[in-house]
């Protein structure tokens, strides 16, 4: 199965492992799966406008902490971007344009907005795939700081961030530290898609899962579990022929006896679906 995305220039860059990827546009390309008529222009204008507004006050900041707090003052204070617990149960909170429109998002979608606006103002915030809570990172002359976009843009120094994540996750500092390095665009997008996948599975929205799983499989073509899941979603969305092709490939590639048995059962079910159509 060819998993090409000819309309999605920035997502296609990820598939080609290019480094110069505009994550805001990738996020909008993903959102277009759920909102086919989506016009990117308003969201990109909003990001650029917020960035231009930030330049003057940022230039007056006397410290790294003050600079980062200014970002939160603008985005959380003036423009109302924030997180709430209910956002984790709403797909729209993962879609960039809806976060901008409603002001509500989850940690990763809000962090993408923060990083994009900061970039427009010449401030480098890097996405960080911290355990259980996505953040952005700033490396300045005063040390390393993290911005928590979900919690009103609060600013955490490196050591304070470690302690907070220890409380949140019960991991050790040695386990957390490697996870605080800037994340690659590809890994950020995979995390975004996995969040959507988990939510849509809970809601049994199979057509939406199909779009998400196609992208996950394209990004991780060597991961057998992703190809198997694509086959299962193909069955759920009445694509048994495609499911059969995918499952046969999975069966060929799997060396695990238990896994092969499960795949064979799925293959039999797909073949049964085909037979009922004839």
Compute the distance between CA of residue 189 and CA of residue 115 in angstroms, rounded to an integer.
Answer: 14
**What is the chain's mean pLDDT, rounded?**
94
Does residue 232 share a domain with residue 102?
no
**Is 136 a domain residue?**
yes
Compute the distance between CA of residue 198 and CA of residue 132 in angstroms, rounded to an integer.
Answer: 14
Mean pLDDT calculated for residue range 132-154: 96
**Is 77 a domain residue?**
yes
Does residue 147 share a domain with residue 19?
yes
Mean pLDDT calculated for residue range 109-118: 98
Per-residue pLDDT at 158 exceeds 80: yes
| 277 band by pLDDT with thresholds 50, 70 and 90 | low
**Is 217 a domain residue?**
no
**Is 262 a domain residue?**
yes
114 exposure class (CB count in 10 Å sphere: 0-12, 13-18, 19+): buried
Does residue 102 share a domain with residue 43?
yes
pLDDT at 278: 58
pLDDT in tens, 22-76: 999 999 999 999 999 999 999 999 999 999 999 999 999 999 999 999 999 999 9
Compute the distance between CA of residue 44 and CA of residue 70 in angstroms, rounded to an integer.
Answer: 21
What percentage of the chain carries pLDDT values higher than 70? 99
The CATH number linked to 50 is 3.10.620
pTM (2 decimals)?
Answer: 0.94
Compute the distance between CA of residue 85 and CA of residue 89 in angstroms, rounded to an integer.
Answer: 8
pLDDT at 266: 85
Which two tokens mark 76? 């959380």
Does residue 241 share a domain with residue 175?
no
Those residues with Cβ within 8 angstroms of residue 179's Cβ, 6 or more apart along the chain or in another chain: 128, 129, 130, 131
Range of the domain at 240: 222-277
**Is 207 a domain residue?**
no
**Is 87 a domain residue?**
yes
Total structural domains in the chain? 2
pLDDT in tens, 31-42: 999 999 999 999
Does residue 265 share a domain with residue 165?
no
Does residue 263 share a domain with residue 154?
no
Does residue 226 share a domain with residue 121?
no
Does residue 226 share a domain with residue 98?
no
Does residue 168 share a domain with residue 266?
no
Q: Which residue among 120, 148, 180 closes a domain?
A: 180
Does residue 251 share a domain with residue 158?
no
Does residue 246 share a domain with residue 139?
no
pLDDT at 275: 77
Compute the distance between CA of residue 116 and CA of residue 112 in angstroms, rounded to an integer.
Answer: 6
pLDDT at 112: 98
**Is 272 a domain residue?**
yes
Does residue 169 share a domain with residue 228?
no
pLDDT at 97: 98
pLDDT at 270: 87
Mean pLDDT calculated for residue range 244-251: 90
Per-residue pLDDT at 1 exceeds 90: no
**Is 208 a domain residue?**
no
């Amino acid at each position: 199965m060819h998993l090409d995305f000819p309309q999605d220039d920035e997502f296609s860059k990820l598939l080609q492992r290019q480094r110069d990827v505009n994550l805001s546009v990738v996020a909008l390309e993903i959102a277009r799966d759920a909102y086919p008529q989506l016009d990117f222009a308003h969201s990109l204008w909003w990001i650029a406008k917020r960035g231009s507004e930030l330049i003057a006050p940022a230039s007056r900041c006397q410290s790294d902490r003050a600079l980062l707090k200014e970002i939160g003052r603008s985005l959380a204070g003036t423009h109302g971007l924030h997180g709430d617990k209910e956002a984790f149960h709403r797909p729209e909170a993962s879609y960039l344009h809806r976060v901008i429109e409603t002001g509500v998002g989850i940690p990763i979608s809000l962090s993408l907005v923060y990083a994009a606006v900061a970039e427009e103002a010449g401030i480098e915030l890097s996405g960080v795939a911290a355990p259980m809570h996505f953040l952005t990172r700033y490396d300045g002359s005063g040390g390393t700081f993290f911005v928590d976009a979900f919690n009103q843009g609060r600013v955490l120094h490196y050591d304070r961030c470690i302690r907070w994540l220890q409380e949140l996750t019960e991991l050790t500092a040695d386990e957390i530290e490697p996870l605080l390095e800037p994340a690659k665009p590809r890994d950020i997008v995979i995390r975004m898609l996995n969040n959507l996948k988990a939510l849509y599975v809970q809601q049994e929205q199979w057509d939406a899962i199909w779009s998400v799983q196609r992208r996950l499989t394209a990004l991780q073509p060597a991961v057998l579990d992703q190809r198997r899941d694509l086959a299962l979603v193909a069955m759920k969305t009445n694509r048994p022929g495609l499911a059969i092709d995918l499952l046969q490939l999975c069966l060929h590639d799997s060396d695990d006896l238990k896994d092969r048995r499960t795949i064979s059962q799925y293959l039999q079910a797909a073949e049964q679906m085909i037979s009922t159509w004839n």
